[in-house]
Amino acid sequence: MAEYLLLFRGGDAETARQSPEKWQAHMQKWTQWMGDLKAQGKLIGAQPLVTTGKVISGTKKVVTDGPYMEGKEMVGGYLACKADSYEEAVAIANNCPILEHDGIVEVREINELKM
């Protein structure tokens, strides 16, 4: 079994415009989705991120505000999970409620760094 990181992009502006009731129903879907993963023992962790941040780059460690991207490209959250294959990880990502709001899920396998 391998570990995967699902990166969520976009989709948030849409939900924010909705009424509290719709927002609640939407979050209920996240709870259902993650609850199922947890029940199968596959959930490792997940958190949403705020939209502002800092970027540190290079040997000079220059700190700038950032990452200043279009809302659609900005990473808005992550979920780490276990899955047997990329296929399964994609199947998991397929049920992510962010897709209902035209969001993007990027599926990446955690790399085991060999010595």
Partner 1 sequence: MNSKCNLQNSSNNINTLTDHLFRHESGKMVSVLTKIFGTENLETAEDVVQQTFIDSMQVWKLKGIPDNPSAWLFRVAKNKAIDHIRRHKHAVQYDFNDNERALLTSEYTLTTTMEHLWKEEAIQDDQLRMMFACCHPDISAENQITLVLKTLCGFSTSEIAKAFLTSEDTVSKRLYRTREFFRLQKIKLEIPSDQDLIKRTGSVLNSIYLLFNEGYNSTNSEDLIRRDLIDEAILLCKLLTENKNTQLPEAFALMALMCFHSSRIASRLTPEGEIILLSRQDRSKWNHNLIAEANEYMNKAAFGEKISSYHIEAAIAFEHCIADNFDTTNWERILELYDWLCKSSHSEIAEINRAVVILKLQGASAAMTALHNLKDKNKVEDYYLYQSLLGEIYCEKNNKAKAKTHFEKAMRLTKSIKEKKLLSEKIKTLFY
Shortest gap between Cβ of 33 and partner 1 (angstroms)?
9
Q: Which is nearer to partner 1, 35 or 53 (CB)?
A: 35
Task: Specify the 3-state DSSP secondary structure of 60.
Answer: coil
28 touches partner 1 by CB under 8 A: yes
Pick from 56, 101, 109: nearest CA to 76: 101
Shortest gap between Cβ of 70 and partner 1 (angstroms)?
23
Residues 18, 77 contacting (CB under 8 angstroms): no
Give the whole-angstrom CA distance, residue 81 versus residue 40.
11
Q: Token pair of 28, please?
A: 């209920």
Report DSSP state, residue 111: P
Q: Which of residues 47-66 bind partner 1 (CB under 8 A)?
A: 47-48
39 touches partner 1 by CB under 8 A: yes
Residues that bind partner 1 (CB under 8 A): 24, 27-28, 30-31, 34-35, 38-39, 43, 45-48, 77, 79
